[in-house]
Amino acid sequence: MPEESGLLDFDQTDFRIIREIARDGRLSDVALGERVHLSSTAAARRRKILEECGAVTGYSANLNLEALGVGIVVLVAIELVSQAEQVLNEFEAAVVQCPSMTFCSFVSGDTDFIMIVHVRSFRDYDRVYRSELSKLPHVAKIRSSFVMRQVTQRVVPPVVFEGRR
């Protein structure tokens, strides 16, 4: 399926399958086939191809973190003392060990890394700040922003499916 551009080459049926399993990863092959107008065998075969080529990387459940007691979301911007390869590598190796963090990316601009941290309370964030974030190597500055209200969260941006009906 790879094209010269490095992108995978999908047809409209592939995108219909991707859209449906993004909505509900637990769909049976029979239900998937019905939704995309294929036999269950053809739907299963295409789903397997999408998984094997790396277009579908896994399945997960969407959890209500507030109901599970970690409903406060904190966006954390981290600046490092330098962007030397060793500094970046050591920070990245350490940050993946932070149990309160669900997302961390190296970004452009004034900030080096953006993280998403989930905590139980403001007091809990103080604990996370002291026991996890402040112990990360090579950190020069930490800026925290508390999410007041989530407006939306998407698994897949709609632009992926634009013009592919």
pLDDT of 131 over the 90 cut: yes
Our count of domains for the chain comes to 2
Domain that holds residue 84: 72-146
Q: What is the pLDDT of residues 78-115, one digit of tens each?
A: 999 999 999 999 999 999 999 999 999 999 999 999 99
Q: Do 81 and 140 belong to one domain?
A: yes
Q: Do 78 and 53 belong to one domain?
A: no
CATH of the domain at 18: 1.10.10.10
Q: What is the pLDDT of residues 18-56, one digit of tens each?
A: 999 999 999 999 999 999 999 999 999 999 999 999 999
Distances, alpha carbon 109 to alpha carbons 2, 44, 89, 101, 164, in Å: 32, 43, 19, 21, 34
CATH of the domain at 105: 3.30.70.920
25 vs 64: CA distance, rounded Å: 17
Which residues have C-beta within 8 Å of that of residue 16, sequence separation ≥ 6? 35, 36
One-letter amino acid identity for 78?
Answer: I
Q: How confident is the model at residue 4 (pLDDT cuts 50, 70, 90)?
A: very low
pLDDT at res. 43: 97
